[in-house]
Structure 1
Amino acid sequence: MSHPIEHSLPPDIVEAALPYLSLRDIKNLSLTNRYFHKLLDFNSSDTLWHEIFRKTFGPLHSETEPLESSQNSHYLSCCEMILRNRFPDESWAQLYKLRSLKARLYTWGSLKHARLGYTASSHPSLPPEFINNAGMRLQFGINTPVQVPWDSDAEGSSHRIDNNSIASVSAGGFSFQILTKSGKLYITGSTYSGGHRGPGPVEGESDYNPFQRLIMQSERSLTMFNGRTPRQGGVVPINTTSSMPLERPHENIYASFEEAERILDQKLAGNRHIRRLFTRNVTKSDLESSGIFKIDTKKLDDIKFQSVSSGRSHILALSDEGELYSWDGPDVEQGVRIIFDGLPTRETNPVVKIGSGWNYNCVSIFNIGLVVWSSRNALRENDSYAAANYKVIPNTGVCSGDDKIVDFACCTNLCVFFITARGDELRLFANDFVQKVVLPIEGRIVKLVGCYTMLAIFTTRSCYTVNVLDGQVVEQSLVKLELENSDDMFVSLSTGDYHTVALTSRGKIFTWGLESELCGCLGLGDREVIVNERHAGRIENLRSTRVLKPTLVKLGDTDYTCLAVTAAGWHTGALILS
């Protein structure tokens, strides 16, 4: 006999409500009665495991997916679509396990700043033919996808490995940002900014730095007799009645700073080229009394992130509490919490999605609309957040109906494209003005991806790219991307400075564009293979090779399945099932 609630809340209605519930809420709901327990049983419910998969590996807060589908109950993220195509008979519980334990990060491209998560000398098994060096000792880049040494490759408990599995990866101009299932955020290499300014403090201002001030105050307080200051290690030189200068050991005034640096310098187990990022809430100092700089170790894991986006020289992340954090300049080591003065709080108007342009950020806020900023106020002493100098794009705050914004994409210089639920037109915000963009494309627009000076437009029928220059779409640059296999189609795309990487519905990687200075960013092998063996490109100059059309990236002789791609600068990354 059916339960009465089945008639008022059939399974499809329950499934449609799951995206709005936390995992704890779902667990409690499953204990309510037999009907919900059957639908949401962790041991047997395919519906439940599909939702757990979506919450863990395909959040709608990510810029790699649309905000919402018009048929949300049947919506599949790129990763879900690829896995379902590759393993049509597997349950969602099995697909969740496969995604958690078998997805590995591969990177290729420029070796500068160890941005790939390894160097030519640090990687344990890097074939010489993978390294572009043009017959010289100087190593320019990696020309073939290489698996990045990761914590999940080491021995340890399955629980630890599962929690540290990679949920998503985003490429910035000088590094990769890696988000784990447990909400930790990591960065590859030595710098995310390359020494360039991001959308941080306005020109001429800088954040208050308690670390720097404490060092200066400590050194001044120990100036002895003739004005000498402590040498490295805290040794204070002094003069006595003798004409010979002596040195008297003194308590190391830098001890607290060195300890703070040690705590915050958390590298991934077994890989010194990947380190964890923290926010400013973990640091505290006592300037007035002890002059001590401390790390609150109890707060190191307080903030868990659910999505990350990367610009040329900055990072934007959204926590599971709905707070925004920004790493936006060469002097910003810990993330700064961002607020919007004059707008409602996140409790009533949460951030729905985040995105980073080349030199700015954009977020979608519920019932407010698209909010953009390219600078923020500098942090002052005792500040726990910084206010963004923002603009709200007009008429983007509709919450329902055909005029609701369902996706947006960022290019360079406050140039934001967006579409509504109708999907029948493309709109552009640039130079403080919103305009309609008319292009000869087929199908309803369902997804946008912005990358520097190029926009990718995904429709129900195909995928297009078009160039963007000075806030205007270059209509004659419109290209329809097609594959020789008519059963496959592009579902995701990302670009670097001069190259593009795309992912198909069957999990295959294609790249094209310019590979500058032998950086290897296309991942198609060395230039001899590209030009003479695969006949896929031409030599542009002494150290550059150009590939004109999308070309398949190979991974040895394996029939690989890729789940996500990303690119920026002169490097490329992908999550591939091992």
Structure 2
Amino acid sequence: MAERVSSITDLPLDILVLVFPYLDAKSFLSFCSTCKAFQQDSIRLDPAYWSHATRSTFRVPNQPIVQHDGVRWQKLYRRLLTQSRVFTWGSNTYNRLGHSSQRDVPAGPVRLPRHLPRRRFAHSSSCSFPTEMDNTRDLGVIADMQCGGWSTTLLASKGLLYTVGVLDGMQVLHNHSADNGPQLLRFPAAYPYSTGPAAYEEPTIAIRQFSSGRCHILGLSDSGRIWSWYAVHKPALHVKFLNIDVNDSSSTPSYEPSTYGRIRKVVAGWSRSSAFVNGTGIVVWDPVQRDAHQNDDEVDTMLVLDAVEVPRTGYQRAKGASRESPEERVLGEEVGVVLNYIMLEHFVIFVTDIGKIFCAKFGDKNRVEEILELQALRNALDSPSDVQGSFRRFAVFKNGEVIIGDQDYLEACWNARMRNPEQTDIDGLKYIPALQQNNVISIAFGDYHFIALHSTGKITSYGTELQACGALGLGGDGDPEGRIRGIRYTGFGHDGKLLPHAYTHGRQVWFEPEKKKFMTFMTSGGKDPDEAKERMRLFVTDPAVQGELSEWFEQEGRSWDDNPAVKEADEDGLGSYFALSISAAGWHSGAVVLVNAKLAAQVQRSYIVKDPDAVDETNNTEDQQPEGTEPIGMFASSLSWLTDLGRWFLGLQTVAEQQQSNLQDVFHPHGLSDFLDPIAYGASPEKGYKYVWADKSFPRLKLSDGQEMPGTVDFDEWKNDIPEWKLDIEV
């Protein structure tokens, strides 16, 4: 007879981990503190426990690529309690960003200073620097967010959904709400939909996972019920199927895998709805709406008669091989178990547990006749991959690689499935250097741009922002600050396209307000704009110089994390801004960010010093500039040179060639006042203080081709080495 177990420490680890999910976080930590044996990382930082605790407590979606990182999940659990914030950027048409007021926008038709050619001030319908959404801190912990075509939707940890903007911008007159704040998505009159514990305790309407399409939203409740919204001010519709068995249980989700008929997830595509039903597979149908003559209170359920099943996607592995039929065994060997899937405009893509990736093209009425393996994307290690994407583009994650593709590539593979089954010599897959082996865990696509989330909590941006709408989130509100991040503005629409240099190491989205001040100061010419004017002219006119200079600024910005004072105050190593999830659609983007306010204040303090040259205005009346006279000093140089440069591009005479009396014809009085203000220039946070960069010059570099930028100041050093540029990237 086996020896009796006399202590819980004698139990093997695989038994203990079955007990852990029944403990809340406080109980689990108390349990681990009972003896040294439970202090080992394999128990105290068990990834299965902390992933489950974080996801079940806060409804945070799973991140497959980091699901085995117990340290990460534990840190997220601690910080989600108090630090969850939502930031958005890009086009704010229909208030899709949730910014009720636009900051730093001149009021009225003012005549603005000509700082640089095509200097563009922020329009009230755009935001180029991440800005926190208004009125979201009272919603509780934000677990997830998703962008739709004209909207942004948030999932609170209590299972409630809130939306800003409109779901269908093509029918804005019918869907627009007068309230600009986050709107609670409602349920039919028969269901409680008030805020607070009532909704959380009702599993039929507490949402645990959701998906935003272009014009509609799908939500999956705790009980496994599908809800669909087509307008913010309309109650949801409960979606049911005529010929598909769905297990709509009233019990909360268990820790064990779902049983047959349970819905694992919902995905709202460009113009389709879908769900993964265990035992059936991927099910697709058209978005549902009430008829125009139907009363909202009369219809709460929509029975879908023509839902389509994607073939060969319903396989589930049996615990014993002997329980499988020959057909199931073949399906398991050829296709495998679907782990994840996405919906594009005309295709569905899914990945399986044997390292294969498949696609299928939709026909009439969403029909799918067959599936096709994407041969070039198969994982040679037979280990699972992941796929993410929307609209017309997708990303495949395998073994640290991130491969970008689009529908043109899928179409080429689909059309060649008979004559070229191996899909040889089919072009269209892109390997962006900045994404390879760089801890990328998520990618979100807009119409012309995309953003990547790294496991370090950093976000990088790629692509194009149409009409300088700010969708890349790199700041600047157009020229010139956007140029310093590597954006080239061209064309009548002033579209901003990221230069090829930016794809070698990427361009991070910055959340620190001080970095925006740093950009403003440098693009104003630094401490001596007159000395820097030839370098700035080269920076504006030569894309290669702009690309290299933008990389220098990128390295400077990233080095802030290495500040000793900041690192010492960073107790958990996540930094002051740690992005938890990202989303993008259309012309805008967003992120759920954990904000350590105490650490962010430390970052701010570390870059501010007292200004010994600060002027006491009460005792310095003799040095005041008389109204209408030419300003002097550093900011006078800024004014003179920047105006000269703007007029030089326009082929006009310079300020030096004009009479002093013409100054008021070039600048609006209020614009002139702001232009000469060190605070507006990013040199000072407030009177009596200055930023540490206030005495720095616009950078002078030795370029990779051996060229030396003009000027008289010393050459600037790179924080890291000059990259080996890979400039053949087209996105």
Distance 1:141 1:296 in 2: 31
From 411, 417, 427, the equivalent of 1:472 is: 411
From 236, 256, 267, the equivalent of 1:335 is: 236
Letter in 2 for 1:165: V
Instruction: Using the TM superposition, give the Cα deviation of residue 377 of structure 1 relative to its aligned residue in structure 2, in angstroms.
Output: 7.6
User: Which residue does the alignment assign to 2:470?
Assistant: 520
Answer yes or no: is the 8 Å Cα contact 2:88–2:589 preserved in 1: yes
Answer yes or no: is the 8 Å Cα contact 2:388–2:395 preserved in 1: yes
User: Which residue does the alignment assign to 1:489?
Assistant: 439
User: Which residue does the alignment assign to 2:300?
Assistant: 384
Instruction: Using the TM superposition, give the Cα deviation of residue 281 of structure 1 relative to its aligned residue in structure 2, in angstroms.
Output: 4.0
Instruction: Using the TM superposition, give the Cα deviation of residue 355 of structure 1 relative to its aligned residue in structure 2, in angstroms.
Output: 1.1
Give the strand-richer structure, 1 or 2. 1
Answer yes or no: is the 8 Å Cα contact 1:172–1:568 preserved in 2: yes
User: Which residue does the alignment assign to 2:556?
Assistant: none
Distance 1:555 1:532 in 2: 18
Letter in 2 for 1:416: V
User: Which residue does the alignment assign to 1:275?
Assistant: 183
From 270, 273, 294, the equivalent of 1:361 is: 273
**Secondary structure in 1 matching 2:54:** helix
From 343, 354, 358, the equivalent of 1:426 is: 358
Q: Which has the larger radius of gyration?
A: 2
Pairing 1:177–2:116 present: no
Task: Map 1:16-415 onto structure 2 (within 5 A).
Answer: 26=23, 47=46, 48-57=49-58, 62=61, 65-66=63-64, 76-77=66-67, 81=69, 84=71, 92=74, 95-121=76-102, 126-128=103-105, 135=120, 138-152=123-137, 164-189=140-165, 191-196=166-171, 272-282=180-190, 302=202, 303-328=205-230, 330=231, 333-346=234-247, 347=249, 348-376=260-288, 378=290, 382-388=298-304, 389-400=306-317, 403-413=336-346, 415=347
Pairing 1:573–2:590 present: yes
User: Which residue does the alignment assign to 1:225?
Assistant: none
Letter in 2 for 1:277: L
Answer yes or no: is the 8 Å Cα contact 1:462–1:489 preserved in 2: no
The change in CA–CA distance for 1:323 and 1:147 in structure 2 (over 3 A counts) is: same
Distance 1:10 1:543 in 2: 64
**Secondary structure in 1 matching 2:170:** coil
User: Which residue does the alignment assign to 1:506?
Assistant: 456
Instruction: Using the TM superposition, give the Cα deviation of residue 530 of structure 1 relative to its aligned residue in structure 2, in angstroms.
Output: 5.8
Tell me the TM-score normalised to structure 1 length: 0.68
**Which moved further from structure 2: 367-376 or 435-444?**
435-444
Answer yes or no: is the 8 Å Cα contact 1:449–1:456 preserved in 2: yes
Letter in 2 for 1:274: P
User: Which residue does the alignment assign to 1:236?
Assistant: none
Distance 1:106 1:127 in 2: 17
| 1:215-250 alpha-carbon deviations (Å, 9 max, x no partner) | xxxxxxxxxxxxxxxxxxxxxxxxxxxxxxxxxxxx
**Secondary structure in 1 matching 2:77:** helix
Letter in 2 for 1:356: A
The change in CA–CA distance for 1:533 and 1:398 in structure 2 (over 3 A counts) is: same
Distance 1:567 1:515 in 2: 12
| 1:504-540 alpha-carbon deviations (Å, 9 max, x no partner) | 1211111121211231111112332466423343424
**Secondary structure in 2 matching 1:512:** strand
The change in CA–CA distance for 1:332 and 1:471 in structure 2 (over 3 A counts) is: farther
Distance 2:216 2:399 in 1: 33
Letter in 1 for 2:509: V
Instruction: Using the TM superposition, give the Cα deviation of residue 323 of structure 1 relative to its aligned residue in structure 2, in angstroms.
Output: 0.5
Instruction: Using the TM superposition, give the Cα deviation of residue 116 of structure 1 relative to its aligned residue in structure 2, in angstroms.
Output: 0.6
Pairing 1:438–2:375 present: yes
Instruction: Using the TM superposition, give the Cα deviation of residue 442 of structure 1 relative to its aligned residue in structure 2, in angstroms.
Output: 6.4
| 1:256-293 alpha-carbon deviations (Å, 9 max, x no partner) | xxxxxxxxx998xxxx5211111114479xxxxxxxxx
Where relative contact order (Cα < 8 A, 6+ residues apart) is larger, the structure is 1
User: Unpaired runs of 5+ in structure 2?
Assistant: 107-111, 113-117, 250-259, 318-331, 414-425, 516-559, 562-576, 596-731
| 1:1-44 alpha-carbon deviations (Å, 9 max, x no partner) | 984796997333453687xx7xxx556xx89xx99x99999xx9
**Secondary structure in 1 matching 2:479:** helix
Instruction: Using the TM superposition, give the Cα deviation of residue 564 of structure 1 relative to its aligned residue in structure 2, in angstroms.
Output: 1.0
**Secondary structure in 2 matching 1:483:** helix
| 1:365-417 alpha-carbon deviations (Å, 9 max, x no partner) | 1111111112448577754311223101111111126611111111113x110
**Secondary structure in 2 matching 1:278:** coil
The change in CA–CA distance for 1:40 and 1:312 in structure 2 (over 3 A counts) is: farther
Distance 1:296 1:463 in 2: 40
The change in CA–CA distance for 1:297 and 1:575 in structure 2 (over 3 A counts) is: closer
Identity %: 23
Instruction: Using the TM superposition, give the Cα deviation of residue 480 of structure 1 relative to its aligned residue in structure 2, in angstroms.
Output: 1.1
User: Which residue does the alignment assign to 2:391?
Assistant: 452
Letter in 2 for 1:76: V
**Secondary structure in 2 matching 1:463:** strand
User: Which residue does the alignment assign to 2:510?
Assistant: 554
Answer yes or no: is the 8 Å Cα contact 2:59–2:208 preserved in 1: no
Give the helix-richer structure, 1 or 2. 2
Distance 1:386 1:116 in 2: 31
Tell me the TM-score normalised to structure 2 length: 0.54
Distance 2:399 2:196 in 1: 49
Answer yes or no: is the 8 Å Cα contact 2:183–2:232 preserved in 1: no
Q: CA RMSD in A?
A: 4.1
Distance 2:286 2:386 in 1: 24
**Secondary structure in 2 matching 1:195:** helix
